[in-house]
Structure 1
Amino acid sequence: MLIPRPVAARPVFAWRTSSRPALVRTRVAWDDARLRRATSVRSTIGGSLTLGYAGLPEGASHVVPFMEERAAQGAAVHRTTRTVPWADALEPSGVDLMAVGAPAERIGPLASAHDLVLPFRIELVVPVVPDVAAMRARVSRKERQRVARQRRDLDWALESATDAADFDWFYEHVHLPTMRRRHGPAARSLEREIAFRCVFRRGFLFFLTEGRERIAGMLCLFDPQTRTLTLRLAGVTDGAQAHYGTGAFAGLYVLILEWAATHGVRAVNLSGCEPFLSKGIFQFKRKLHPRVVRPADHFGAKRLLLRVVRDTPAVRDFLVANPVVAETPDGALEAVYFHDDRRPARRDIRWEGTGLSAARTTHLDSFLHGASKEGSPSVSVC
């Protein structure tokens, strides 16, 4: 393998992901300072809904694409992105539903009783006990039975790989093809050099094998101080849809949890996602009964304000279809479901088994009191 030239991979990775309090404080202060000029996004979806976002640029690459995807349902999306002064970003024109992403200290003064304050991101963490049967029992019964059947019928096994050539093969033939297939031009990933130096060299690379063939892989970072294994990069071989059909991803998660139980791991961090219960990866990982927590890195000190500017049928449809993970006044995390007289709460989008403090259902007529009605002038966001 031709090892990439060292170009400060570790400082860059630490700046992005470190949970050391001093570095987290420095990163959050830097983020707050750069909000003198904020990222401002306006997305028009199918002529029926306009989404707005203001704040840190990470929201434009994480939160906005998710909201667009959930709102569009195949409709055309037209997005414009600008960098403008913070005050201007908070007063978009013609927006129906607004999200603001910033450090918690900036979000607090903006929030009203009719806003939702969400974590900027959430992480899903599985506590580990040194008992393989107990870890297997954490998995939902249906998924557990499916994985057991596939292990028997397809000869599934877990391989731990350590050679640089194994990393090369995983990155080129498993991870990148999967990202391209699932996300297309919007695919995001950890740069190759950083993945090699900061994760592979400090963690574990696992493959799910079917007989002699590698069909899925997971690159994990290990923190020896907390004994936490964090899943960083993943994929199925060649991004092949057939491997999803056999449940290879679920099988890999289950086998890694079993491995963790016998190798002194105290927690498996399944990584993070946006704070919406409707996020597909949230519902998939929920089957492993993780605890939903705020990230320990700089994202844990940031919040997402969600505000309805105009009360329209499309806004109501979006809120009902996408229950959220929100903060309570005392700082706990809870599931929030919306409904109205025509739209029942989507309690089929489950929250149970995730360690959230509770779930509440809110009538939209009450929540949207104060938002302008469709056809009325928009109200200011601040």
Structure 2
Amino acid sequence: MSDLYVLEVLGENTEGEEISFSYCGIQDGLTYIQPFIQNQLLDSNITVKRRYIIQTFELTTYLAENKDDLIVISTNKEQVYKHFPEDCFIMPFRIHQIVDTSKGIEKVLSSMSKREVKRHSKQKEKYKLDFYTTNEDKHFFDFYNRMHKPTMKSRYDGLARSVEINKAYEEIFKKGLLFIITENGVPVSGSVSQIDEENKVLNARLIGVLNGDDRYRYIGAQNHVYHSILEWACRDHRIDQVDFQGCEPFLTKGTFQYKKRFATEAILPPNHLNDKRLLVKANFNKQGIKDFLFNNPVMLVDKDDKLGVGYFYDVREPRLDIPYHSPGFLFERMIRME
């Protein structure tokens, strides 16, 4: 048996419609899944109805008795399919985005969009962007305190998600290296990566720009981090793959759309979340639920662990203007909300 954490909330969307939303699942979902959905779904007068814990054997009863407008259950694949009602759909808990670097940088660049390659080249020349790698402790702590930490605060504020500094030092930096991006020779952004030599993977982990200043994103210094990692990995015989890490399984996630420009392939997470799934039950009689799903197409996964995407429609045509096209997605579903 394992604990499933339940958080039931009630609030109103931007149209003033009252909507109830329940998350029930592994604790990781309270950090990744529940906040994203709640922020997209509810706008005001948000209250917590109940917070409690159930066991996996109670899921059937929980699903049958829960009448909330949106119910999201996260647990392992076996349990999800055991409790899978016909009126639900199944999503991966997260995805990762990887790049094959084994065939060299020219192959990687040819897989990227011409627009991305051209934009990067112009920014690199205009702002004199360059990079170097380092294993010096001082450089790591400077990066963490002056770049990574301010960037996370600026980007996520109270929901800042990161790795504690000493853990990052021991488990990431000391097992990898730090990339520093310079503008005219001055460090302005960076990223610390862990190297998995056994599997020939570079795990790109923490990133940041100096003081969290948006200017460095504007001039392409953050973007240059990704290009630099790929360039370096393609030259290093220990590395066949770069893992740019994960995101929640919604096509509207900015990190997903951003990393897609680097010719990434979507995969299930190569970690403890690999077999975790989201079971979603939606009340299509609520306009707010329909609007949320219509505007936030999802990533799907089938019984054979193949990834796909799901677009929702009613009298409105599905939001095909929100793209997903990248290697790794093998099917597409149009889901009528009725």
Q: Which amino acid aligns with 1:67?
A: I
Matched, 1:299 2:273: yes
Q: Which residue of 2 aligns with 1:223?
A: 196
Matches within 5 A, 1:1-382: 33-35=1-3, 38-46=5-13, 47-48=16-17, 49-72=19-42, 75=44, 77-79=46-48, 82-86=51-55, 87=58, 90=63, 95-264=68-237, 265-309=239-283, 311-341=285-315, 343-365=316-338
Q: Which residue of 2 aligns with 1:370?
A: none
Structure 1: distance between partners of 2:8 and 2:185? 48
Q: Which amino acid aligns with 1:322?
A: N
Could you tell me whether the CA contact under 8 Å between 1:95 and 1:310 is conserved in 2? no
Q: CA deviation at 1:98?
A: 0.9
Could you tell me whether the CA contact under 8 Å between 2:127 and 2:219 is conserved in 1? no
Matched length: 330
Q: CA deviation at 1:216?
A: 1.2
Q: Which amino acid aligns with 1:64?
A: Q
Residues 359 and 233 from structure 1, CA distance in 2 versus in 1: closer, same or farther, beyond 3 angstroms? same
Q: CA deviation at 1:259?
A: 1.1
Q: Which amino acid aligns with 1:267?
A: Q
The TM-score normalised by the length of structure 2 is 0.92
Larger CA deviation: 122-131 vs 173-182: 122-131
Q: Which amino acid aligns with 2:101?
A: V
Q: Secondary structure at the match of 1:299?
A: coil
Could you tell me whether the CA contact under 8 Å between 1:40 and 1:55 is conserved in 2? no
Q: CA deviation at 1:188?
A: 1.4
Structure 2: distance between partners of 1:326 and 1:38? 23
Q: Which amino acid aligns with 1:218?
A: S
Identity, in percent, stands at 27
Could you tell me whether the CA contact under 8 Å between 2:11 and 2:44 is conserved in 1? no
Q: CA deviation at 1:75?
A: 4.4
Q: Secondary structure at the match of 1:278?
A: coil
Q: Secondary structure at the match of 1:142?
A: helix
Structure 1: distance between partners of 2:240 and 2:50? 42
Q: Which runs of 5+ in 2 are unaligned?
A: none
Q: Which amino acid aligns with 1:303?
A: R
Q: Which runs of 5+ in 1 are unaligned?
A: 1-32, 366-382
Q: Which amino acid aligns with 1:140?
A: S
Residues 276 and 329 from structure 1, CA distance in 2 versus in 1: closer, same or farther, beyond 3 angstroms? same
Structure 2: distance between partners of 1:121 and 1:81? 26
Q: Which amino acid aligns with 1:331?
A: D
Q: CA deviation at 1:248?
A: 2.2
Q: CA deviation at 1:84?
A: 2.8
Could you tell me whether the CA contact under 8 Å between 2:188 and 2:209 is conserved in 1? yes
Q: Secondary structure at the match of 1:300?
A: coil
Larger CA deviation: 327-336 vs 52-61: 327-336
Residues 308 and 176 from structure 1, CA distance in 2 versus in 1: closer, same or farther, beyond 3 angstroms? same
Q: CA deviation at 1:177?
A: 0.4
Q: CA deviation at 1:124?
A: 0.8
Residues 328 and 130 from structure 1, CA distance in 2 versus in 1: closer, same or farther, beyond 3 angstroms? closer
The TM-score normalised by the length of structure 1 is 0.82
Structure 2: distance between partners of 1:102 and 1:79? 22
Larger CA deviation: 112-121 vs 277-286: 112-121
Could you tell me whether the CA contact under 8 Å between 1:326 and 1:336 is conserved in 2? yes
Structure 1: distance between partners of 2:303 and 2:331? 13
1:247-273 Cα offsets, whole Å, 9 max, x none, are 322221112111111112200001011
Residues 204 and 138 from structure 1, CA distance in 2 versus in 1: closer, same or farther, beyond 3 angstroms? farther
Q: CA deviation at 1:76?
A: 5.2
Residues 281 and 77 from structure 1, CA distance in 2 versus in 1: closer, same or farther, beyond 3 angstroms? farther
Structure 2: distance between partners of 1:75 and 1:359? 34
1:194-224 Cα offsets, whole Å, 9 max, x none, are 1001110001110111112112111111000
Structure 1 ranges of 4+ moved more than 4 A: 88-94
Could you tell me whether the CA contact under 8 Å between 1:320 and 1:339 is conserved in 2? yes
Larger CA deviation: 181-190 vs 49-58: 49-58
Q: CA deviation at 1:193?
A: 1.1
Could you tell me whether the CA contact under 8 Å between 1:286 and 1:354 is conserved in 2? no
1:117-159 Cα offsets, whole Å, 9 max, x none, are 1111111111113422222223222221111001111111111
Q: Considering fraction of residues, name the structure with more strand.
A: 2
Q: Which amino acid aligns with 1:279?
A: K
Could you tell me whether the CA contact under 8 Å between 1:39 and 1:89 is conserved in 2? no
